[in-house]
Structure 1
C-alpha cells in the first residue's frame, strides 16, 4: 500500500493544500489501497484565508510515507525557525518522494534536503531560499532532482503531483489524473465511476 501525506500548518495557502488533496485522491480510482492524509502538529490548522482544516494525523506520519508534500503560505516562515518542529521529520530522499509548493521549499531546505541543489519557489521566498545554499531557478515552475521536486505558482501543483504520481506508479496513471482536471476540449478523461 502506498501513502501520500500533505503537511499543513497554521497560515497555509488554501489552494496549495486542497488542489494536491483532490489530485492525489483521484489516484484511489486506480489503486483502492492508496492512502492520502493531511497531517500537522495540531488537530486542526487554520488557513491564511481563515478556513479550519482538521488533520488526519501528526507530522511523524511523513517519516514512512511514499510521498511527502509541503504546501506553502506565510506559516512556512514560522515553522522553519522552529527546531523542535523540524526535528520531528526523519525524511529520506533516497527512498521517499518529497515535494513542495512555493514557499514549502523553505521547509525542505530547512531540513537540509536542498543544500547545493537548484529549486524553485514563489518570488517572495527567493531570497530566503538562497540563504539555504540553494540555487533558485526563477523562470520555471517545476524543478526536480531525483526524488525531490519543488514547484512555484499554485497551479504548478498539477505538474508537481503528476511528477510524484508518475514516480509512484507510471506514466499512464499520471496522464489520467492530469487529464481528469483539464478544461473541456483539452484532452480530459473521466476517471470517476
Structure 2
C-alpha cells in the first residue's frame, strides 16, 4: 500500500562494501525526497572503505537500522566475516513485522544469520551462493525474489530491482516508475522502466 508519510531507509554499508549496491540504491531511493523519503548510508563505524578503496562517512550509526522504515543489507568482500561477528550483529534488531527488508548479494547472508529469511528462498551472487546453501537456504537462479516484506536480489546491478520494489511497496508503482524513468538511459527510458518493473511487479501483491 502506498503512503505519503516520511520513509526512512537504512542502507547497511560495512567495510569492504560494494559501491554499486549501496550507491545505486541510495541515489534511486532519494529521487523520492520530495515525497518525504530519505535513504542514508548506515554503518557500524564513522567511516567505511569500499572494496575499491573509496572511503565514505556514515550518515547514520548501525542502530539507525532498528528504527528505520526499511533496511537494505548491502554486500561486500568482508561479509562472511561480518556474519560471524555476533557482537556486531547483536546491535541489529530488525523486525519484518514493521519494516521492509532487502538484501543484496552477500547481504543476504547477513539476513540468514539474523533469521530474517526463514524458509524463504533467496537470490544472491555466485560467490555467496555456497555459503547460503551451507546455511540451509534454497538459492534461486533469479535476479530478484520477495515474499511479504522481505526481498533479496543477486548480482550488482540487481540493486535497481531492490530499490524499485521498496519504492513501489511504500510509495506506489507510479512513484517508483518516475524515479526509474529519471535515471534510465536516454532513448531507452520507457523500455528500461518496463523491464525493471516487469521483474518486481509479481512480488507487489502482498501488502506491506
Q: Which residue of 2 aligns with 1:159?
A: 161
Aligned pair partner of 1:78 in 51, 75, 81: 81
Q: Which residue of 2 aligns with 1:95?
A: 98
In the alignment, the residues of structure 2 paired with residue 131 and residue 145 of structure 1 have an alpha-carbon distance, to the nearest angstrom, of 21
Post-superposition Cα deviations, 1:23-78, rounded to whole Å, max 9, x if no partner, equal 0111113x1x3222111111000100001010012111111111101111112111
Q: How many residues align?
A: 185
Gaps of 5+ in 2: 1-5, 191-208
Post-superposition Cα deviations, 1:1-41, rounded to whole Å, max 9, x if no partner, equal 21001111110111111111110111113x1x322211111
Aligned pair partner of 1:142 in 141, 144, 149: 144
Q: Which residue of 2 aligns with 1:6?
A: 11
The TM-score, its normalising length taken from structure 2, stands at: 0.86
Instruction: Report whether the alignment pairs 1:181 with 2:186.
Output: no
The TM-score, its normalising length taken from structure 1, stands at: 0.92
Gaps of 5+ in 1: 189-193
Query: How much is the aligned-residue C-alpha RMSD, in angstroms?
Result: 1.1
Instruction: Report whether the alignment pairs 1:37 with 2:40.
Output: yes
Report SS of the residue matched to 2:31: helix
Q: Which residue of 2 aligns with 1:109?
A: 112
Q: Are the counterparts in 1 of residues 20 and 159 from structure 2 also a CA contact under 8 Å?
A: no
Q: Which residue of 2 aligns with 1:22?
A: 27
In the alignment, the residues of structure 1 paired with residue 7 and residue 185 of structure 2 have an alpha-carbon distance, to the nearest angstrom, of 29
Post-superposition Cα deviations, 1:86-115, rounded to whole Å, max 9, x if no partner, equal 111111112111111111101111101113
Q: List 4+ stretches of structure 1 deviating above 2 A.
A: none
In the alignment, the residues of structure 1 paired with residue 136 and residue 149 of structure 2 have an alpha-carbon distance, to the nearest angstrom, of 19
Post-superposition Cα deviations, 1:149-173, rounded to whole Å, max 9, x if no partner, equal 1011111111110000011110100
In the alignment, the residues of structure 2 paired with residue 96 and residue 133 of structure 1 have an alpha-carbon distance, to the nearest angstrom, of 24
In the alignment, the residues of structure 2 paired with residue 183 and residue 58 of structure 1 have an alpha-carbon distance, to the nearest angstrom, of 34
Q: Are the counterparts in 2 of residues 115 and 132 from structure 1 also a CA contact under 8 Å?
A: no
